[in-house]
Amino acid sequence: MLAKMFDYIRFTLYGLLVVVVMLLFQKWDAEHPKTIITKTETTAAATTTSNYIPQIIPATTTSGTAIATTEKPAASAAIATGNIVHVETDVLSVDIDTLGGNITQIKLLKYSQEQHSTLPIVLLNNDPNTRYIAQSGLLGKVGPDTSKGQANYTAEQTDYKFSGDEKTQQVKLYWQNSDGVKITKIYTFQRDSYEIDLTYQIQNQSTQPWEGNLYLQLMRTNLPTPSKNGLVSLATYFGAAISTPDKSFEKITFKEMDGKNLNQTAMGGWAAMIQHYFVSAWVPDKTSTSQYYTRVTPDGLYTVGMMGPSLTVKPGETVETQAKFYSGPENAEKLEKVAPGLQLTIDYGWFWFISVIIFWMMQKIYNVIGNWGWSIILVTVIIKLLFYHLSAKSYRSMSGMKKLQPKIEALKERFGSDKQKFTQATLELYKKEKVNPMSGCLPILVQIPVFIALYWVLVESVELRHAPFMFWIQDLSTKDPYYVLPVLMGISMFLQQRLSPPPPDPMQAKVLMFMPVVFTALFLNFPAGLMLYWFVNNLLSFAQQWFIMRSLDKPKKKS
């Protein structure tokens, strides 16, 4: 009876592992639909003018408290169109619209849409179907931005490109009203950086004080990854997030934006839009107090942003206000340098604390050997070494259980239907032989969180995107094209299972023997990197289990 109970526990753990794998598979399938690049997508970058009119313009109350209102621009503003200022660094291709001085397109030159493709990722874009832009402005009664629309700037030139050893490049946009208020909007780009510095120079040559507020916002359409067949999806996070001193990372889903508007005051922090592998974020001055807000425009643009404190520029004065903008890969090292807590946008899921450690080890190994596949293998070896004694104890117990099977069968025949006496006799046998049936479940229990943590590392770490291993495995973040690793994983799982004592229940024994086939089928489309880990882990487990059981089977030498 007791032995059966332990077998049921082991059987349940295998079932739990199957459920976890199925859920992760749904997530993986949802995250990797077949990509169809349309003509619109490939030509979006070629747009030279913008017909976009901003529909969310922040406003302030008469007391100077920052708020945000949804207001359509005046009809006259619809006639105005801006020119595009194009900036190209070694890692970014950026379009800035002189209407508002907004960033309307960003291409990541170091990241291709598909492996071996020459087309770079288009992150921000002004296409009507997939619009995703970064707006910023100065809202004041006399401009440059008002509730009726954004300012139309003039540019010194329309094309900027790094040349030679140039490390920085400035793009200056100019606006001036008839009263003598001059605004210079300056974007500063740096070599090998996804961070863009924004500076506003406010020069007041009028006879009246100028008052206004700096606002920063991200606007995009809601195109979440669809779930398949109506099943539960464990898709990576797609939505907005903010950071404040009270909470370093707070997700704000598009569904939450539909339900209510955020209105929160905080010092410093940041506001971001997150998608798989990439993030865009506005970071205000860390000493300023901003009003964070979310809104949804009538045409479906989801907005997260912030309004800075009231600025006053006296006649004859010149005042500057600054912010930072990041738009690029979710690289922890880069994000940490931009703003505190921004690296938390890398969503490692349930066991993030394990994922962080695993990725740290993988990164250190990669820095030495330069191959993510071998990094996964060596991390697997390290994990096995860390749990060596725990696994060894479990395998010794399993070996003992295997040897006790004839004695347990004898007890079953001896006590017949008297389950109480059979259980008591079995417990005494376990105690006498120093065998703990529960320890056989430990390897499964240990594998589940490590497996999930590594899965999220492979799914979320942009460093592994399109990372090759060797031979036919040219992308560890996608499936093995020939399904070799899943099959090898299944075979290794079967061999390892042969070393374990079979359950006394014939039905359970048949189901467990069928498990390698089930897992192989479920893992066919999983990332090759995950299959590499599982296969190597199974091989190491098999070798350790075989060695321990073989040493226990050897007859002890007489002294």
Mean pLDDT, residues 402-410 taken together: 74
The crossing angle, in degrees rounded to 10, of helices 372-386 and 352-369 is 130
- What is the model's pLDDT at position 294? 94
Long-range contact set of residues 106-113: C-beta below 8 Å, sequence gap at least 24: 106/280, 106/327, 107/45, 108/194, 108/278, 108/328, 108/329, 111/277, 111/329, 111/462, 111/465, 112/466, 113/35, 113/37
Encoded tokens for 185? 């909007």
* Least trusted range by pLDDT, from 165-179, 187-201, 362-376, 491-505: 491-505
- What is the model's pLDDT at position 231? 29
The closest of 37, 28, 173, 166 to 99, measured between CA atoms, is 173
Q: What percent of the chain has pLDDT over 70?
A: 75
The DSSP secondary-structure symbol of 78 reads: G
Compute the distance between CA of residue 418 and CA of residue 427 in angstroms, rounded to an integer. 15
Q: Which residue has the higher pLDDT, 154 or 47?
A: 154
Buried-state track 171-206, b at ≥16 Cβ within 10 A, e below 16: bbbbbbeeeebbbbbbbbbbeebbbbbbebebbbeb
Q: How, if at all, do strands 239-243 and 49-50 pair?
A: unpaired
Compute the distance between CA of residue 102 and CA of residue 280 in angstroms, rounded to an integer. 14
> DSSP characters for 211-230?
EEEEEEEEEE---PPPPSTT
**φ, ψ at 409 (rounded to 5°):** -65, -35
Average pLDDT of every residue of the chain = 79
Cα 353 to its chain centre, rounded Å, is 14
Residue 2 above 50 pLDDT? no
- What is the model's pLDDT at position 23? 53
- What is the model's pLDDT at position 122? 93
- What is the model's pLDDT at position 419? 73
> DSSP characters for 237-272?
P-EEEEE-SS-S-EEE-HHHHHH---EEEEES-EEE
Compute the distance between CA of residue 218 and CA of residue 274 in angstroms, rounded to an integer. 11
- Within the chain, what is the greatest distance between any pair of CA atoms? 107
Q: Which residue has the higher pLDDT, 216 or 49?
A: 216
Residue 514 above 90 pLDDT? no
- When pLDDT is cut at 50, 70 and 90, the band that residue 218 belongs to is very high
* Least trusted range by pLDDT, from 80-84, 114-118, 155-159: 80-84
Contact (CB, 8 A) for 453 and 351:
yes
Strands (DSSP E) found in 98-209: 102-112, 120-124, 132-140, 154-155, 159-161, 168-176, 181-190, 195-204
- What is the model's pLDDT at position 338? 95
The residues, ordered by sequence, that sit 6+ positions from 472 with a Cβ below 8 Å of its Cβ are 480, 481, 482, 484
- For each of the domains in the chain, give its residue range(s) and CATH number, in order of start: 83-223+237-345 (2.70.98.90), 357-553 (no CATH)
Mean pLDDT, residues 100-122 taken together: 91
Residue 544: which H helix or E strand, with range? helix 528-553
